């Protein structure tokens, strides 16, 4: 999302307007630092009952977008822990080191950072949701020393059969990156990582006898055969039932298609455990499929954007850029005013957790406007916050 903000800066001529635009981004940085500092004092981060609950949510990172506006807030990533088994949704910028800071692992000193990780699930393949996957993939064997049990299951979107449409309409079509495979899925993307890091992998396997990623990870695309083949617009159909993904003992994982057009396919995931259910939205506008998936869930971890911030930004752009920019930022994401009243309330979820916060400069009192029209509990997410399920 925030790559659009970076491109927007280039559209503003040097002068007061450009300085104001950069000040807004700078304010987001300062606001993020303030929020991260307050999170450090939050009782939800401690090692008390929240940290030891049999089933719990750990917010590894809560920042939205690929633009790094605050080094103290990691990119979006959410861990679901049940009976000390860990399931991770997305790996944004800086999420990988958060495993060590979170207390969800058996012991980083022993080199077993990934010892309890059972599954990794990608909602979509935007860079701000998968940026730390290359790091985790290539260094996984060095951080899984002593790990026992089956390989880590990795699930994500399949290959896209079409390119997304060009936006706004009428703009010249840009060059296509990698015309032979412009829309690789999760498995193919990972295979390219394997090729790109072959020098490192061969060196370590031959010199240190380390097992490579092939033995540590099983990477699979979610099969959409007979469900949907994304078109250039990328707006998914209404599903009549969730998509089965995986059952791991007492944890059942299902998914649905959400609307993050033109990016497609994009998924939300539901984790059903003996202690309760958790749904993670990924990036989406208000989605009927997501509302169906989240029916009566105990927790809904959902992205959110502040439209007032968007208005401030687009006011600084030339008229021919302002409209398309505003349309994109607000049509593919869910606003503060929408997320509680139009998503969490009709889904009947017990607790709504806001993450993928855009921007961090928005004060918490503004995020709490999401409570309007929503009768459940609202949590504004902070990095490393722990939320017990079923207590």
256, part of any domain: yes
Q: How many domains does the chain have?
A: 1
171, part of any domain: no
Rounded mean pLDDT, 266-279: 98
Longest dimension (CA), the chain: 60
131, part of any domain: yes
83, part of any domain: yes
Please tell me the distance from the alpha carbon of residue 353 to that of residue 298, in angstroms, as a whole number. Answer: 11
Minimal CA–CA distance to 100: which of 89, 90, 115? 115
**Pairwise pLDDT comparison (195 vs 12), residue with the higher score:** 195
Instruction: Give pLDDT tens digits for 133-189.
Output: 999 999 999 999 888 889 999 999 999 999 999 988 888 999 999 999 999 999 999
H or E stretch at 70: none
Which burial class, exposed, middle or buried, applies to 112 when counting CB atoms under 10 A from its CB (0-12, 13-18, 19+)?
A: middle
168, part of any domain: no
Residue with tokens 């280039």: 10
218, part of any domain: yes
174, part of any domain: no
380's tokens: 């504004």
Domain that holds residue 217: 3-162+183-224+231-388
Helices (H) and strands (E) in the chain — how many of each?
15, 14
At residue 39, does pLDDT exceed 90?
Answer: no
Please tell me the distance from the alpha carbon of residue 294 to that of residue 302, in angstroms, as a whole number. Answer: 11
90, part of any domain: yes
C-alpha R_g of the chain: 20
CATH of the domain at 15: 3.60.15.10
Please tell me the distance from the alpha carbon of residue 158 to that of residue 218, in angstroms, as a whole number. Answer: 15
pLDDT at 8: 57
């Amino acid at each position: 999302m925030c790559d659009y903000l970076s491109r927007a800066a280039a559209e503003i001529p040097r002068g007061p307007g450009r300085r104001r635009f950069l000040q807004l981004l700078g304010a987001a940085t300062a606001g993020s630092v303030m929020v991260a500092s307050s999170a450090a004092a939050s009782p939800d981060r401690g090692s008390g009952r929240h940290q030891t609950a049999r089933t719990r949510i750990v917010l590894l990172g809560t920042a939205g977008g690929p633009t790094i506006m605050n080094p103290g807030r990691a990119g979006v990533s959410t861990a679901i822990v049940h009976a000390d088994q860990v399931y991770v949704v997305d790996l944004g910028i800086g999420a990988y080191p958060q495993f060590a800071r979170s207390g969800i692992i058996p012991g980083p000193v022993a080199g077993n950072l990934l010892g309890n990780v059972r599954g990794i699930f990608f909602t979509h393949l935007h860079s701000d949701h998968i940026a730390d996957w290359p790091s985790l993939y290539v260094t996984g064997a060095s951080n899984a020393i002593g790990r026992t049990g089956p390989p880590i299951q990795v699930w994500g979107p399949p290959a896209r059969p079409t390119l997304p449409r060009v936006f706004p309409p009428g703009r010249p079509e840009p060059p296509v990156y990698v015309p032979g495979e412009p829309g690789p899925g999760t498995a193919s993307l990972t295979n390219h990582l394997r090729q790109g890091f072959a020098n490192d992998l061969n060196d370590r396997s031959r010199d240190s006898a380390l097992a490579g990623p092939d033995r540590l990870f099983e990477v699979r695309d979610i099969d959409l055969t007979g469900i949907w083949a994304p078109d250039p617009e990328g707006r998914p159909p209404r599903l009549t039932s969730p998509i089965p993904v995986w059952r791991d003992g007492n944890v059942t994982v299902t998914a649905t298609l959400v609307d993050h057009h033109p990016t497609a396919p994009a998924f939300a995931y539901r984790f059903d455990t003996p202690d309760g259910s958790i749904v993670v939205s990924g990036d989406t506008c208000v989605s009927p499929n997501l509302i169906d998936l989240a029916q009566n869930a105990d927790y809904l971890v959902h992205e959110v954007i502040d439209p007032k911030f968007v208005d401030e930004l687009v006011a600084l752009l030339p008229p021919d850029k302002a409209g398309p920019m505003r349309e994109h930022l607000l049509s593919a994401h869910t606003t503060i005013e929408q997320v509680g009243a139009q998503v969490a309330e009709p889904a009947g979820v017990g607790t709504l957790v806001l993450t993928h916060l855009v921007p961090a400069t928005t004060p918490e009192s503004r995020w709490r406007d999401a409570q309007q029209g929503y009768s459940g509990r609202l949590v504004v997410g902070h990095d490393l916050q722990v939320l017990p399920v079923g207590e």
